[in-house]
Amino acid sequence: MKFDIDLDKCVGAGVCAIAAPEVFDQNDSDGIIVVLDPHPSPDQEAAVRDAAVRCPAAVIKLTEQ
Amino acid sequence: MISLPQTTPPQARESLPTNRCPFDPDRRYEELRADRPVPRVSTPAGFDVWLVTRYEDARAVLADAETFSSVDASSSHLMGDKDNLGAPPPPGVMLRHDGDSHSRLRLRLAREFMVKRVAKLEPFIRHLVSEQIDRLAERTGPVDLYRAFGLPVPALVISKILGVPEEDRDEFERATASQVDLSLSLEERQAAAIESAGFFVRLVQSKIESPGDDLISRLILEPAESPMDAAELQGIALLLLAAGHDTTANMITLGTYALLKHPEQAAKLQDAAFMETGVDELIRYLTIVHNGVLRKATRETVIGGQSIRAGEHVAVVLESANRDPDFLGDGDHLDLDRMSAHLGFGYGPHQCLGQHLARLELRIALPELFRRLRGLRVATPEEDISFKNDMVVYGIKELMIDWDEVTP
């Protein structure tokens, strides 16, 4: 699966880091999203989808299945 | 193309539904969600608002901070003075700031509450919870859980984060608890609010003079494009207390009561699953930030088929959205194994900054309370329990509990 990140919208809520901790983390300096794995394996798909739905600022956009 | 009304909307003929029973939202929301999802209602502060009752509409409003300003977001419709609507937000109080002014504050604070940083507080919170249960155990007879445990735990966590000196923490806890103690008179509560505001003025001054390893000191010391002044730091400290204290205290108290009324769910408290999902489900089910999150339209728009004009207020009813059958088929049931994209922490750029801290406090406090207080039960007749229906944060005014024995 593939996704795009809109960094400008991120408010550092950190929901992605609990929904998909193997794919997303937070920057130490401002809490903004950090992508740990830009090409997540199929077993991470549900977690990434969950992160995209729960992100309060709609930062993560799924672009490809 | 949808035509927008040119005239002032008619005066509301119904009032804000506040009759919760006791874990569920006001029953009127079922009908509203189905038939009239954006009704016009009158509010306790004396002005009318559009209520947003459906999940998808709630997300749409809260996500669109350009169309829906937070300038009156401090629950002005419940406890505000309508003459003060639209007044500039106080410095540092980010929940009422919009756009860049909000981002500047939020992004300086987000790292303090990020997942990794909050996780480091776990040993401290475990120790604190254990100590507070020990204190409970020293007492005999029924005890008010809200006052004796619910309020002190989050107050002491926040005082640690803000860098309140240890010798001052008990005084800090007393002053902050008195502000929300409904057994005191309004005058006594206002006096306590002034006392804790004074506390923050002195705290910020002491950090400016001799910084330590805490949130306020880091805001003072770390270089930034636009440094924060003392008034902003005081506003931030007050907001963090206001947002993180009584909310968590009510979740601990109402959550305990809900779990006692759902013993099949309470049985899951000691499972690892509760760590993963249970707290979020409890937050969804109880949705204590209720009676509407207030926004003000900056331009003409349409929500749920309803035209909204610039300048009109919209109140997003989180407790209704979280029970919307289009969001969750059986949302009226408490199921601690369920994970959902609930709105209990709000949504959009203002979503709760301290959500990971709240989760951690509840993940520790609730299982520990049920594990250590054997035979935990409510010690008063059910009909004597009174709920905070008309308040900004929902909960139980006083929950007298008793137990058989305390385990280590």
Q: How confident is the model at residue B1 (pLDDT cuts 50, 70, 90)?
A: very low
Q: Which residues of chain B does A18 touch, with a Cβ-Cβ cutoff of 8 Å?
A: 115, 356
In the predicted structure, residue B384 carries a pLDDT above the cut 70: yes
- Does residue B119 belong to the interface with chain A, where contact is any CB pair within 8 Å? no
In the predicted structure, residue B24 carries a pLDDT above the cut 80: yes
**Taking residues A11-37, what's their average pLDDT?**
96
* Interface residue of B55, B98, B107, B339 to substitute, partner A, most A CBs within 10 Å: B107
Give this complex's ipTM: 0.95
CB contact under 8 A, B107 and A54: no
**Taking residues B376-394, what's their average pLDDT?**
94
CB contact under 8 A, B110 and A57: no
Q: Which residues of chain B does A8 touch, with a Cβ-Cβ cutoff of 8 Å?
A: none
Closest residue in chain A to residue B62, using alpha carbons only: A56
Domain ranges of chain A: 2-64
Cα torsion B91, B93, B94, B100 to 10°: value is: -10
Q: At B204, which amino acid appears?
A: V
CB contact under 8 A, A11 and B110: yes
CB contact under 8 A, B339 and A57: no
Cα torsion B78, B110, B164, B125 to 10°: value is: 90
| Residue B289, phi-psi category: left (phi > 0), alpha (psi -120 to 50), beta (remainder) | beta
In chain B, residues 56-75 whose CB comes closer than 8 Å to chain A: 62-63
Range list for CATH 1.10.630.10 in chain B: 28-151+245-406
* Interface residue of A26, A36, A48, A59 to substitute, partner B, most B CBs within 10 Å: A26
Residue A56: which of B107, B347, B356 has the nearest Cβ?
B347
Neighbours of B160 (CB within 10 A): 17
**Taking residues B367-381, what's their average pLDDT?**
96
d(CA B107, CA B167): 31
Fold of B28-151+245-406: Cytochrome p450 (1.10.630)
Task: Count Cβ neighbours within 10 Å for each residue of B255-291 and write b for 16 or more, e otherwise.
Answer: bbbbbeebeebbebbeeeebeebbbbbbbbbbbbbbb
Neighbours of B338 (CB within 10 A): 18
Query: Of B180, B295, B160, B195, whose CA–CA distance to B242 is shortest?
Result: B180
Place of tokens 């937000």: B89
Q: Which of B170-184, B189-203, B293-307 has the highest mean pLDDT?
A: B293-307
**Mean pLDDT value across chain A:** 95
CB contact under 8 A, B110 and A50: no
CA distance B174 to chain A (A): 30
pLDDT at residue B390 in the model: 87
Query: Of A58, A62, A64, A63, whose CA–CA distance to A6 is shortest?
Result: A58
Residue A1, class by beta-carbon neighbours within 10 Å (0-12 exposed, 13-18 middle, 19+ buried)?
middle
Tell me if B248 sits within 8 A of B282, measured CB to CB: no
d(CA B318, CA A32): 26
d(CA B51, CA B33): 10
Each residue's pLDDT tens digit, B294-348: 999 999 999 999 999 999 999 999 999 999 999 999 999 999 999 999 999 999 9
Alpha carbons within 13 A on the beta-carbon side of B395: 25
Residue B111: which of A9, A30, A58 has the nearest Cβ?
A30
Fold of A2-64: Alpha-Beta Plaits (3.30.70)
Q: How confident is the model at residue B172 (pLDDT cuts 50, 70, 90)?
A: confident
In the predicted structure, residue B385 carries a pLDDT above the cut 80: yes
Tell me if B252 sits within 8 A of B367, measured CB to CB: no
